[in-house]
Amino acid sequence: MVKSTCSYCGVGCGVLVDKDRNGQLTLQGDPDHPGSKGLLCSKGMNLHYTVMDQSDRLLYPQMRYNRSMPLERVSWDDALDRAAAVFTSIIAKYGPDSVGFYASGQCLTEEYYLINKLTKGFLGTNNLDTNSRLCMSSAVVGYKQTLGEDSVPCSYEDIDLADTLLVAGANPAWCHPIIFRRVEARKAAFPDFKLIVVDPRRTQTAVMADLHLQIKPGTDVTLYHAIARGLIDRGLIDQAFIDNHTDGFDAFNEKVHERSLKEAASICGIPLEDLKWAIEYIGRSKGFMSMWTMGLNQSVIGVNKNVSLINLSLITGQIGKPGTGPLSLTGQPNAMGGRETGGMANLLSAHRDLANPAHRQEIATFWGVDSVPDKPGLTATDMFAALRDGRMKAIWIVCTNPMVSLPDSRIVEEALQNARFVVVQDISNRSDTVAYADLVLPAAGWGEKIGTMTNSERRVSYLNKFAEPPGEAKPDAEIIWTFAQKMGFGDAFAYTHPAQVYDEHVRLTKGTNIDITGLSHERLRTGGTIQWPVPTAESTGTKRLFTDHQFYTPNRRAQIKTVSDANHSEPTTPDFPLILTTGRIRDQWHTMTKTGKVAKLNTHIPKPFLDIHPKDASERGIEDGDPVVIKGHRGEVRVNAKLTKDIRRGVVFLPMHWGKLFNKDFARANNVTSSLYDPISKEPDLKFSAVQVARVSAP
């Protein structure tokens, strides 16, 4: 049996993989894993099929010299020599900011570290961003602005101890199922436990709720302000905690009293009584916890939504003790590892600050370079806009499928068409993005390489290798360090094993708030998973942060920030009267490049669909199952309508998984999504696009 970690969502469940004499794999949950305790969801249980079915795998490097030619097989040497020559020549002619890397929350920590070091230390640009920008960058800023650093304060175990759990903009019953098992267990074991769900959709999670606040999209901040006002007015706050450990309460108090509860309930589109119940449940609870993901983060006001929700934990003093705390869930298995290594355009290793000259110099000295650029790099959507208008010339895409996952697909397509040089490093040809590559590099997949990941509760795990990569595919870390050597940076990239890369990352965390000096591949492999910080070899990890109520701000006090509740999404109009929100279904993950090839998973919901309220449908002459066209300012999508009262009137829902390769009718949700983004976190507004919906007439 080989121990590993599920490579889908950020829950990070432990798996045990076995291989018989014929090479057939079997897989089960790891009962010793503290986070998942032997449980796996439908996606995790079928993970080994993605390794066994190699029909879609990229087997050898492929290259073309111009776009009118087909891709042709080349050697690794030729492939990486060409990549190095093109990057060198573009940088010499147009400067380092003309190139960039776009990576993924599926990358292992070692891979993130290498790409970060190569880009910021040696290529001379901060143009490294990842698809985690689409997932949790608003939460990163929310934590920084309130707690002083991007640090998830609590553990999954706190769910087992909470009295009231507020789940906002998340559907863990489908998208983080093994966390939701804990919620169900807590509900069954503790009859007074209250589950509050905030979501415009009546999801499987909302079905289980004691209170479902089915708010209008974009009104989250108004809701949390109203809850705060209710808590303050009823004396249900922790004044001693506020006085001793926070700043900013007076201004916040004034702000939340700008609206009456009645006005707030009306803006949010929920009954006033329900708002009052939420205040009671939270205020009377001894252990209040919140949990959220894309519904809050993927917003033009994602940071304000995060801050206003975290404020509820601060004014009630419900942080740093068992059964409490704000728990942001990550959508991807190693989004947290990316945050630790500084693997994004505006971050530096170990939560150092790119804007801080001393922090930049520390990193530069460690890497043996003169400096790290001070100019923040281009973030995900900006990077593709820069390729489209010619400011960037080359992009290296690692383990992600932006043609399907980024908003406003038209911009992404034009960007890839306009780029001088596109490298796609991936495991599979099931990605729509491969078709735009000048150079395709075959990567090893899950179970075919060694490395580490960190899940949503700061738990670091070691991923063992149990299969050889097919054909000539190589581990991503090896591809990056070989490319760096070909670029002439051999001394700094003379690695022969990912453990050496991990050791370097570990050394950079020394003395920081995420100190993992006590970790190594060997300790993780033999000792199992552990939650950071782990500052010494003797440390057994850290279940909860801020138990002493000393926060990571300069004065050690948490900041209760006052934010506006105005939404800045694109407005609905008579021509585009409906709000489109996008999301996930139970048995698919991201753009289906892995889950889409598992027959069992495709049976749950085999085709894309549009959720629409029966009244909105009847106004348009649409019946259940009818083909419909969803038109926005940027494009259109065609799917069949699913009439359901589970969605608010005025709101429609499309799953985000399907791309062109999977659906000839072109059901790519991002054809119509807005590319507006939060001005601070740069996370796109994927939960709010103005659209119209019409029945497709028979030809």
- Site residues, ligand SF4 (CB under 6 A): 6, 8-9, 11-13, 36, 40-41, 43-44, 176-178
CB of 533 to ligand SF4, least distance (A): 23
Please give the structure tokens belonging to residue 10.
Answer: 């950020």
CB of 291 to ligand SF4, least distance (A): 14
CB of 593 to ligand SF4, least distance (A): 15
Would strands 62-63 and 72-73 be described as parallel, antiparallel, or unpaired?
A: antiparallel
Please return the burial class of 432, using the count of CB atoms within 10 Å of its CB with bins 0-12, 13-18 and 19+: buried
CB of 469 to ligand SF4, least distance (A): 22
* Of residues 40 and 335, the one with the C-beta less far from ligand SF4: 40
Buried b (16+ CB within 10 A) or exposed e, 500-526: ebbebbbebbeebebbbbbbbbebbbe
Question: Which residues, at least 6 apart from 91, have a Cβ–Cβ distance to it below 8 Å?
Answer: 98, 99, 123, 124
* Of residues 241 and 446, the one with the C-beta less far from ligand SF4: 446
CB 222 within 8 A of CB 267: yes
CB of 341 to ligand SF4, least distance (A): 21
* Of residues 177 and 632, the one with the C-beta less far from ligand SF4: 177
CB of 459 to ligand SF4, least distance (A): 11
Separation of alpha carbons 348 and 340, rounded Å: 8
Q: At what angle do helices 302-315 and 137-147 cross, to 10 degrees?
A: 40
Separation of alpha carbons 172 and 175, rounded Å: 5
* Of residues 3 and 43, the one with the C-beta less far from ligand SF4: 43
CB of 668 to ligand SF4, least distance (A): 23
Any idea which residue has 């959720």 for tokens? 611
Separation of alpha carbons 17 and 26, rounded Å: 6
* Of residues 178 and 669, the one with the C-beta less far from ligand SF4: 178
CB of 401 to ligand SF4, least distance (A): 18
In the bound state, the residue with its beta carbon closest to ligand SF4 is: 44
CB of 655 to ligand SF4, least distance (A): 16
* Of residues 6 and 419, the one with the C-beta less far from ligand SF4: 6
Distance of CA 586 to the CA centre of its chain: 17
Nearest C-alpha neighbor of 380 from the set 417, 415, 345, 340: 345
* Of residues 48 and 229, the one with the C-beta less far from ligand SF4: 48
CB of 2 to ligand SF4, least distance (A): 16
Nearest C-alpha neighbor of 162 from the set 313, 309, 336: 313
DSSP-derived letter for residue 294 is: H
* Of residues 11 and 282, the one with the C-beta less far from ligand SF4: 11
SS3 321: coil
Separation of alpha carbons 42 and 192, rounded Å: 30
- The dihedral formed by the CA atoms of 636, 637, 642 and 643, expressed in degrees to the nearest 10: 0
CB of 179 to ligand SF4, least distance (A): 7
Question: Which residues, at least 6 apart from 1, have a Cβ–Cβ distance to it below 8 Å?
Answer: 16, 17, 18
CB of 33 to ligand SF4, least distance (A): 10
Separation of alpha carbons 97 and 387, rounded Å: 11
Torsions phi, psi for 43 (to 5 deg): -70, -50
Nearest C-alpha neighbor of 208 from the set 229, 236, 180: 180
* Of residues 205 and 567, the one with the C-beta less far from ligand SF4: 205
* Of residues 41 and 139, the one with the C-beta less far from ligand SF4: 41
* Of residues 10 and 373, the one with the C-beta less far from ligand SF4: 10
Tally of CA atoms within 13 A in the half-sphere of 622 that contains its CB: 28
Separation of alpha carbons 303 and 130, rounded Å: 18
* Of residues 41 and 152, the one with the C-beta less far from ligand SF4: 41
